[in-house]
Amino acid sequence: MASPNAHEFAARFSQKAGLKADVDKLGRLNGSGPAEGGLRKLWEMSELSANEFADEVALFFELPRVALQEMMAAESRVQQFSRRFLREMAVFPCQPPGGTPLLVLADPTDRASIQAAAIVLGMTPAIKVASFEDIATALDQRLGEEEAVTAETAASSTAQDDDIDNLRDLASGAPVVRAVSDMFETAAELRASDIHIEPGRTSLVIRMRVDGLLRNVATPSGVPPAAVISRIKILAGLNIAERRLPQDGGARVRVARSEIDVRVAIMPTQHGESAVIRLLPRDRALLSIDKLGFLAGDQSKLRRMLALPHGMVIVTGPTGSGKTTTLATVLSLLNEPTRKILTIEDPVEYEIPGVSQSQAKPSIGLTFATALRSFVRQDPDVIMVGEVRDSETAHVAIHAALTGHLVLTTLHTETAAAAVPRLLDLGVEAFLLRSTLRAVIAQRLVRQLCDRCKASRPLTHADVEADPRYTAVGLSVGNVIFEPVGCERCSGVGYRGRIGVFEVLEMNEDVRALVEEKSDWESIDKVAIRNGMTTMIEDGLAKCLSGMTSAAEILRVTTVR
DSSP, residue by residue, 420-469 = HHHHHHTT--HHHHHHHEEEEEEEEEEEEEPTTT-EEEE--HHHHHH-TH
d(CA 434, CA 394): 14
The predicted model scores a pTM of 0.69
**CA-to-CA dists, residue 307 to 33, 157, 397, 440, angstroms:** 46, 63, 19, 15
d(CA 530, CA 147): 58
Give 2's pLDDT tier (boundaries 50, 70, 90).
Answer: very low
Q: What integer pLDDT is reported at residue 470 of this predicted model? A: 83
Q: Could you say which of 1.20.1070.10, 3.30.450.90, 2.170.190.11, 2.30.30.100 is the CATH number of the domain covering 171-281? A: 3.30.450.90
Other residues' Cβ atoms within 10 Å of the Cβ of residue 241: 11
Distant-in-sequence contacts of 464-472, Cβ < 8 A, 24+ apart? 469/551, 469/555, 470/551, 472/555, 472/560
Secondary structure of residue 94 in the 3-state scheme: strand
Omega cis (within 30) before 108: no
Longest dimension (CA), the chain: 80
Torsion-angle region of residue 237: left (phi > 0), alpha (psi -120 to 50) or beta?
Answer: left
Q: CA-based angle 548:552:557, to the nearest 5?
A: 90
Q: What integer pLDDT is reported at residue 11 of this predicted model? A: 66
Mean pLDDT of the chain: 84
pLDDT in tens, 151-209: 443 333 333 444 455 555 555 667 888 888 889 989 988 889 999 999 887 778 999 99
CATH classification of 289-445+501-533 is 3.90.1150.10, yes or no?
no
The 3-class SS string of 476-510 reads: CCCCEEEECCCCCCCCCCCEEEEEEEEEEEECCHH
Q: Which fold has domain 6-144?
A: GMP Synthetase; Chain A, domain 3 (3.30.300)
**Minimum mean pLDDT range among 199-208, 391-400, 443-452, 546-555:** 199-208
* 405-417 residues labelled b (16+ CB within 10 A) or e (exposed): bbbbbbbbbebbb
**Class of residue 95 by CB neighbours under 10 A (exposed 0-12, middle 13-18, buried 19+):** middle
**Minimum mean pLDDT range among 148-162, 215-229, 518-532:** 148-162
Q: Report CA dihedral (420, 423, 424, 430) to the nearest 10 degrees.
A: -70
Q: Pairing mode, if any, of strands 406-411 and 437-449? A: unpaired
Q: What is the mean pLDDT of residues 317-340?
A: 91
The conformation of residue 244, written as its DSSP 8-state character, comes to S
Q: What integer pLDDT is reported at residue 21 of this predicted model? A: 40
d(CA 397, CA 406): 10
> Which of 447, 438, 415, 420 is CA-nearest to residue 536?
415
Other residues' Cβ atoms within 10 Å of the Cβ of residue 271: 14
Residue spans of the domains in the chain: they are 6-144, 171-281, 289-445+501-533
Q: What is the mean pLDDT of residues 218-243?
A: 85
Question: Which residues in 257-347 belong to E strands, given as ranges?
Answer: 258-269, 272-281, 311-316, 341-345
- Contact assessment for residue 310 and residue 323, using Cβ atoms and an 8 Å cutoff: no
Q: What is the mean pLDDT of residues 343-350?
A: 87
